[in-house]
Structure formats: C-alpha cells, structure tokens
C-alpha cells in the first residue's frame, strides 16, 4: 500500500473528528477507485462542515461511480446550490453540466 495512503488512515485513526483528515483519506480513496469507502469518508467530513462544496461534488462523483444516480443528483444539486451561494462560477457550470447529463 502507498505510504501516503497509509498515512491518511493513521491521521483519521488519530483524529477521527477532524474533517480535513477525513477529506484527505476520502480523496486518496477516490483517486484509488475505492468509491464506497471514499463516499463514507466524505459523508463524515460533510457532517462536520456541510457547506463544503467540493466534498459534495466528490460525493456525487462517488455515487455516480457506484451507480446511484439519485444520490449523485442530490449531491450535485447541493453542490450547485453552494456554488451559487458562494459565488463559484466554475463549479456552478460543472454542476449544471453534470445535472443535465443525469
């Protein structure tokens, strides 16, 4: 196993309530194609920081990769709403495109 990947797991074990540690592990899992486990880590991070738009986007991508189009749509809609509220034009366009393709 990649040492940095293992390091992310150790950080989560050491700081289970730290949303950044959860995000980092989730992103490493996502990049490795382990979408179910990545989604679970992202959900924990979002429970602590629900306005984290990028994590909603990644959660939606995980759901889509796992075949749950309904859950992906919900995550992308939330990310779109946050992009509007936070004035992020790039992610807004990305979410509009993703939603139109669902």
Number of domains in the chain: 1
Domain span at residue 73 reads 3-101
Rounded to whole angstroms, the Cα distance separating 69 from 13 reads: 31
Q: How far are the Cα atoms of 1, 96, 97 from residue 45, in angstroms, in the given order?
A: 23, 24, 25
Give pLDDT, residue 5.
Answer: 78
Q: Is the pLDDT of residue 1 over 60?
A: no
CATH of the domain at 40: 1.25.40.10
The predicted model gives 69-87 an average pLDDT of 98
pLDDT digits (tens, 9 = 90+) for 16-75: 999 999 999 999 999 999 999 999 999 999 999 999 999 999 999 999 999 999 999 999
Say if residue 3's pLDDT is above 70.
no
């Amino acid at each position: 196993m990649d040492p940095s990947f293992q390091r992310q797991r150790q950080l989560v074990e050491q700081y289970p309530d730290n949303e950044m540690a959860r995000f980092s592990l989730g992103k490493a899992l996502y990049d490795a194609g382990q979408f179910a486990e990545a989604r679970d880590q992202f959900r924990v991070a979002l429970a602590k920081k629900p306005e984290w738009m990028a994590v909603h986007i990644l959660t939606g991508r995980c759901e889509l990769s796992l075949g749950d189009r309904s859950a992906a749509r919900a995550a992308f809609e939330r990310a779109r709403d946050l992009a509007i509220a936070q004035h992020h034009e790039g992610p807004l366009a990305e979410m509009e495109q993703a939603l139109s393709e669902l």
